[in-house]
Amino acid sequence: MAYENILSALENNITTITINRPSKLNALNQATINELHKAFKKADEDKKTKVIIITGSGEKAFVAGADISEFADFSVSQGEKLAAEGQAKLFDFVAHLSTPVIAAVNGFALGGGLELAMAAHFRIASDNAKMGLPEVSLGVIPGYGGTQRLPQLVGKGRAMELIMTAGMIDANQALQYGLVNHVTTLEELLPFAEKLASKIKRNSSVAIAAAIEAVNAGFEDGENGFEAEITQFGKCFGTADFQEGTQAFLQKRKADFPGK
């Protein structure tokens, strides 16, 4: 599939999606959000893809924010529609994807960029990364899930401070806050992401999808995470991956999972 604003490449069961608008610091416009939706959907449906890595092109930015020129003159109803459609099409879509998604944050991840990174299942960052939600400095609030996911990841107080000050934190502070799992040099960022992806892909993709669903349930209103875990745990017993995994363990051999 040909894209104008992103790149997508599959190698060794890892699909790497790169936001490729370096002249705009990889800012998210509607066309890019649409392309990202298609690329994530395609990778998730591809049996060969075991892990997805999302990153930005160049050395300066993962995603420096949303393309403000697209919505500067929007009405109230248009603003609500923008947030609702964006969350459904990309941010919530990524968060609930059954294929694990690693965000490799290179440089600035601001506004919609940080929201995209937070929608991924976990994050690693280069040591030049800067993260923040500066929306209140524009007279608006984060609209792509930032007011919900940031408190879940760093706690309410830290999230409130970051949102209200419109400030940025560096990679090491993000690591201290638990916003990212690891910090590397810029040169090592993608190789390290691929190393983590390699550890993930040798496990059961069916079980990983069930784990994602169970973990997510614990953060959703009206959902009982423990009940979701029980249900997903039970479902695993009816899968070919469970049969292969348990037999491999009992036979003291390496499992060869059928996969998704």
Q: Residues with catalytic annotation? A: 115, 135
CB within 8 Å of 229: residues ≥ 6 apart: 214, 217
The CA dihedral of 59, 64, 68, 69, to the nearest 10 degrees, is 0
Q: Work out the number of other CB atoms within 10 angstroms of the CB of residue 243.
A: 12
| DSSP one-letter string for 123-148 | EEEETT-EEE--GGGGT----SSHHH
Strand partners, 17: 8, 54
Which DSSP state fits 220?
Answer: S
Instruction: Report CA-CA distances (Å) from 15 to 1, 22, 37, 99, 130.
Output: 13, 20, 14, 10, 25
For 155-197, give the secondary structure using H, E and C: CHHHHHHHHHHCCEEEHHHHHHHCCCCEEECHHHHHHHHHHHH
Task: Report the C-alpha gap between 92 and 98 in whole angstroms.
Answer: 12
Indicate the SS3 state at residue 12: coil
Q: What is the dihedral of CA 74, 79, 83, 85, to 10 degrees?
A: -70
